Amino acid sequence: MTAQHRLAQWPAWLSRWLGYRATPPVKRPDYVIWMWSFVGAFCGISLIQAVFGQAQYFISRGVPPIIASYGASAVLIYGTIDAPLAQPRPLLGGHFVGALVGVCITKLFHLLPTEEKFQQLIWLAGSLSCATSVVAMQITSTTHPPAGATALLAAVNTEVRDLGWYYLPVVLLTSTLALVVALLLNNIQRRYPSFWFQPAVSIPAPVSPDLGPDTTVVQDQSQGSTNGVTIDYLGMRKQEASSQV
């Protein structure tokens, strides 16, 4: 018997805004998706800039109006809302991990004897920050592509670098604001998120037939299970083609 999702016990008016649906949502026309993608990205980025660009609390601390990497996050969490990398865990965790790695590595480079030496090696600090954050996100299952830029900015951007450790709460608040807008607007005619912590089944993208055979193992992660299911995408395509002849 399939276990009932915990959100099913919540009132429908509340669980809806957290992505839960008792029945599959209706597929919307493309123009509806385009419209809500635009509205979501516009409102999300505007809210972030309003908070950090107008609040005297943040202005007095030298916080930039927006961290540039969130422009890329807007494409994911408002435009491709079903993508695994656009879900809350990668959004919140990825940016935080990226910021933490970037600040730590930059602080280590600041131990160099002179500022001139630091400026000469700033390229290395940025490269290490980005590369290390990629691995850290893979280890923590929080891979979010824009977060690589979050780590990079901590090293190479003067305005962000001057924040020091204060960069971490700024990134957390920015991610939270972006997520709140996504939960509100993406659930009006669509559904977001697809999952909060981990998907029920992880299905990699199939390889193009031009690149050779593709036999992929799909991991079933529901209820902690790791049963493997092998899918031969190329074989399926050949069967489909022969059945159409």
Cβ atoms of 68 and 151 within 8 Å: the answer is no
* pLDDT value of position 19: 78
The predicted model gives 205-232 an average pLDDT of 58
Whole-structure pTM over 0.75, yes or no?
yes
Contact 155, 58 (CB under 8 A): no
Q: Are 64 and 52 in contact (CB under 8 A)?
A: yes
Mean per-residue pLDDT, 172-195: 94
pLDDT value for 224: 45
Give the residue with greater pLDDT, 188 vs 10.
Answer: 188
Q: Is 44 within 8 Å of 56 (Cβ atoms)?
A: no
Q: Check residue 63 and give its pLDDT.
A: 94
- What is the rounded distance in angstroms from the CA atom of residue 116 to the CA atom of residue 121? 9
The model's pLDDT over 98-124, given as tens digits with 9 standing for 90+, comes to 999 999 999 999 999 999 999 999 999
User: In the chain, what percentage of residues exceed pLDDT 90?
Assistant: 65
> pLDDT confidence of 26, banded at 50, 70, 90?
confident
- In angstroms, rounded to a whole number, what is the distance separating the alpha carbons of residues 136 and 138? 5
pLDDT at 200 over 70: no
For residue 154, name the pLDDT band (cuts at 50, 70, 90): very high
| Angle (CA) 28 30 34, round 5° | 110
Please tell me the predicted confidence (pLDDT) of residue 59. Answer: 94
* Cβ neighbours, 10 Å, residue 226: 7
Separation of CA 14 from chain center: 23
Confidence of residue 241 (pLDDT cuts 50, 70, 90): very low
- Per-residue confidence (pLDDT) for residue 41, from 0 to 100: 97
pLDDT beyond 60 at 237: no
Residue 204 CB coordination number (10 Å): 13
Of the candidate ranges 1-5, 153-157, 160-164, 200-204, the one whose mean pLDDT is the lowest = 1-5
